[in-house]
Amino acid sequence: MHSLALKLGPLTIYWYGIMVALGFMCAVGLMMLNRKHAEMDTEQISDMALYGMIAGIVGARIFYVCQFWSQYQNDLFQIIRIDKGGLVFYGGFICASLTVLIYTLKKKLPVLKVFDIIAPSMAIGHMFGRIGCFLNGCCFGKPSDLPWAVQFPKGSAPCDAFPGQAIHPVQLYESLFNLILAILLMFLLKRLRPGQIAATYLVCYGIGRFTIESLRGDHHQFILEKFTVSQSIGIFVAAAGIALFAYTIRKTSGQKAKND
């Protein structure tokens, strides 16, 4: 684990912040590449990405602080120190999605196609974000005796939780999962109906996150004493994806019947 990337006097740069920034740039680049699919120009992509990024960071931070309030209640200044990590993906996902939806409606863009090009970009950005989590030592896994289990250094959160034990590198599991998902979505982008790429992302990510969460060792909050908060949201996300799939099929069938 190498959380600190560079320190120049009072300026401290963490790997987490670097990876999040790199993920954002790659995500925007991928949206630029796919912009014609959503009938958008480069300026619209840039504006949408900027608004979505701001909303996403704010939402992700709010969700994290609410979930781990005990870490901040005695030092409120730390709430704004996002460079050290501490973002909840689902919080950012929800806030960014609502912001993008408002933007697309205001600009009268094809909503389903816009979210279709966002889906693989979201996955590729998240891939880099999870690498940042690994380098930062957050979002860590449970103890494991597998050959690829990792042991974090003393003073890190994983070591404090499981002293002297090797743990699942769940951050890298999810990073690899997001890379595979991004490749799959890019392959399907021009092969599925509008909205079905976004639906595929929701279903796959919801199921994948639910599964990987079972290996997380940093959770203390559960719903119904069984599922973590993220697992519970994952179920909802997957269900939303299935509902979106059904909607796109019904919409297409209705259009065909109308044309006939």
CA distances from residue 244 to 54, 208, 230, 238 in whole angstroms, order as listed: 26, 18, 21, 10
- Provide the domain limits for residue 55: 4-138+163-259
Q: Does residue 250 fall inside a structural domain?
A: yes
33-86 confidence digits (pLDDT tens): 999 999 999 999 999 999 999 999 999 888 888 877 777 877 777 777 776 667
With CA atoms as reference, report the closest residue to 120 among 43, 59, 37, 62.
Answer: 37
Token pair for 189: 């982008």
State pLDDT tens for residues 133-191: 999 998 999 999 999 999 999 989 999 999 999 999 999 999 999 999 999 999 999 99
Q: How many domains does the chain have?
A: 1
Question: Is there a domain that residue 46 lies in?
Answer: yes
Residue range 119-149, pLDDT digits in tens: 999 999 999 999 999 999 989 999 999 999 9
pLDDT over 90 percentage in the chain: 67
25 token code pair: 């740039």
Percent of the residues in the chain that have a pLDDT greater than 70, as a whole number: 93
Average pLDDT value for residue range 229-236: 90
- The answer to whether residue 229 is domain-embedded is yes
Could you tell me if residue 149 is inside a domain? no
